[in-house]
C-alpha cells in the first residue's frame, strides 16, 4: 500500500476529536513530501537534530512536534518553530522551554509525559510528580510555556485489556488535571496516546492525538 492509502485508512478511523501526528523519524525528506502531498501537515520526530534538519528542508506550513526525550541544552534548537513538545518530564525542562520562549517571543506548547506502562524503560512522570510540578510556584510564574495536556505510551504487549486500562488511566488523569489546573494559558485539552500497534484502542479511550509512524510509512529499518 502507498503512503497515501495508509494515511487515508488511518484518517477514516479518527473521528472528530482525534488528530493524527505522522511520526517521520528515520524517514527521508522524499517520503515526508509524499505524505505532505497526500494532504498531511502534522509531523513528529523523536530527535532534536533530525527535527531541526527536516524543518529546514521541508515546506514551512508543516506543523512539527517533538515526541522523543528532550535534554535542556537542546531546547534552543527547536524553540523558534516547534508546535508541540509531547515529552516534557521535569520542572527544569519547563523552565528552559519558558526561557527559550521568551527569547523567541512566543509561548511554546507542551504536554507532560506520563509514565503509564508496566515497563522499566519508558520516560515519564507519575501522577504525583505531575501534580507537584503544577502546584509549584516557580511553574505558575512561567508565561512563555503552556501545558496543553498529557502524553503517554502503553506497555508494549499483545494484551489489549492492559493497554485499554493504561489509556483509560491517562484519560481519567487528564479529566482530573483539566478540572483542577486549566487556565487561560494552560488548556489541558490534549491527550497524546496511541501508536501504530494500539491507536485504535487509544481513539476509543479518548485520545486527541495519535502518533503513528510505521502504519503510514512501513516498517522502519534498523
Where on the chain is the footprint of ligand PLP (CB under 6 A)?
23, 25, 46, 67-68, 195-197, 211-215
Q: Coil, strand, or helix at residue 178?
A: helix
CB of residue 198 to ligand PLP, shortest distance in Å = 9
Q: Which residues contact 49 (CB under 8 A, 6 or more apart)?
A: 77
Cα(150)–Cα(90) distance, integer angstroms: 13
140 vs 197, beta carbon nearer ligand PLP = 197
93 vs 142, beta carbon nearer ligand PLP = 93
Bridge partners, residue 21, by sequence: 211
Q: Which residue number places its CB atom closest to ligand PLP?
A: 213
Cα(208)–Cα(2) distance, integer angstroms: 25
Continuous H helices in 38-187:
48-57, 75-78, 91-103, 127-135, 137-140, 160-181
173 vs 199, beta carbon nearer ligand PLP = 199
CB of residue 8 to ligand PLP, shortest distance in Å = 17
CB of residue 212 to ligand PLP, shortest distance in Å = 5
94 vs 202, beta carbon nearer ligand PLP = 202
Amino acid at each position: 500500500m502507498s503512503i497515501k492509502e495508509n494515511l487515508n485508512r488511518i484518517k477514516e478511523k479518527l473521528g472528530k476529536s482525534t488528530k493524527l501526528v505522522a511520526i517521520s523519524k528515520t524517514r527521508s525528506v522524499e517520503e515526508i513530501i509524499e505524505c505532505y502531498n497526500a494532504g498531511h501537515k502534522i509531523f513528529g520526530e523523536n530527535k532534536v537534530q533530525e527535527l531541526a534538519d527536516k524543518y529546514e528542508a521541508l515546506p514551512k506550513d508543516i506543523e512539527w512536534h517533538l515526541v522523543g526525550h528532550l535534554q535542556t541544552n537542546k531546547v534552543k534548537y527547536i524553540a523558534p518553530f516547534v508546535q508541540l513538545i509531547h515529552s516534557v518530564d521535569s520542572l527544569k525542562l519547563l523552565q528552559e522551554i519558558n526561557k527559550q520562549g521568551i527569547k523567541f517571543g512566543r509561548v511554546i506548547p507542551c504536554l507532560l509525559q506520563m509514565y503509564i506502562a508496566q515497563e522499566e524503560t519508558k520516560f515519564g512522570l507519575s501522577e504525583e510528580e505531575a501534580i507537584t510540578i503544577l502546584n509549584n510556584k516557580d511553574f505558575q510564574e512561567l508565561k512563555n510555556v503552556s501545558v496543553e495536556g498529557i502524553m503517554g505510551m502503553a506497555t508494549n504487549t499483545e494484551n489489549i485489556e492492559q493497554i485499554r486500562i493504561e489509556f483509560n488511566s491517562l484519560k481519567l488523569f487528564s479529566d482530573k488535571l483539566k478540572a483542577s489546573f486549566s487556565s487561560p494559558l494552560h488548556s489541558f485539552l490534549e491527550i497524546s496516546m496511541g501508536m501504530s500497534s494500539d491507536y485504535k484502542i487509544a481513539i476509543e479511550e479518548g485520545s486527541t492525538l495519535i502518533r503513528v509512524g510505521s502504519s503510514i510509512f512501513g516498517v522502519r529499518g534498523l
